Amino acid sequence: MHHLEPHYNWRDHYIASEDEQSPFYGREYSEFEFSTKIYNYFIHPQWDEIGSPTLFTKLLYAEYNLGFAILEMLGEWNDCLHNDISFLKQNVVNHLVKKGINKYILIGENVLNFHFSDDCYYEEWYEDITDDGGWMVAVNFRQHVLDEMNKIHLYNYLHYGGIYNDLAWRTLKPKHFCLGIEQSLLNQLPAYKRDDEH
């Protein structure tokens, strides 16, 4: 797992540790010392801790004027044992919401498993942002992870699956990626609908 480095080609556009409005402002990283583990596996030192022992993130991009944030995720998303969504919500998302971010893209290619509990924090996140036209989109999550998300109806709060499951996002500039996702939400039906829309 130590070879899985957060996407770095957008550093000319944004660096979270240099952004005074970022929850990761001022963090320092080692390029060579591997000290953080998920279970018994070292992970790349560029990933950011959020309080969970198994789920890490990297804020790849934030655009405050347009309200966009892109978060790349790594590890095991475990709401059952660690309530990882609470760490993400309280330590990252709440900070960004206060700064005007209401549109979230979660990159999930390196999320290996998802263990669900209840959906309270997802609902709270959804309610925090949708009055202002916000949304959450989960991109390129593995199918077995999406299957577990479906079991607690997270499609009520996040857009995922379908067109969001195989996006070549690394070839795009971050702002274009965000605007493309937003346009897809405006132009076509999401992969899943909220329960109250069926």
Name all domains of the chain by residue range, CATH numbers in brackets.
16-188 (3.30.750.24)
Using alpha carbons, select from 24, 50, 58, 52 the residue that is nearest to residue 38: 52
Summarize pLDDT for 55-82 with one digit per residue, the tens.
999 999 999 999 999 999 999 999 999 9
Residues 6+ apart with CB under 8 A from 189: none
Q: For position 7, what pLDDT does the model report? A: 95
Q: How far apart are CA 130 and CA 128, in angstroms?
A: 6
Q: How far apart are CA 11 and CA 28, in angstroms?
A: 15
Residues 6+ apart with CB under 8 A from 88: 50, 52, 55, 57
Tell me which of 28 and 13 has the higher pLDDT: 13
Examine the pLDDT at 196 and tell me if it is beyond 80: no
CB of 45 closer than 8 Å to CB of 9: no
DSSP-derived 3-state class of residue 66: coil
Examine the pLDDT at 189 and tell me if it is beyond 80: no
Q: For position 192, what pLDDT does the model report? A: 41
Summarize pLDDT for 124-150 with one digit per residue, the tens.
999 999 998 999 999 999 999 999 999
Examine the pLDDT at 195 and tell me if it is beyond 60: no
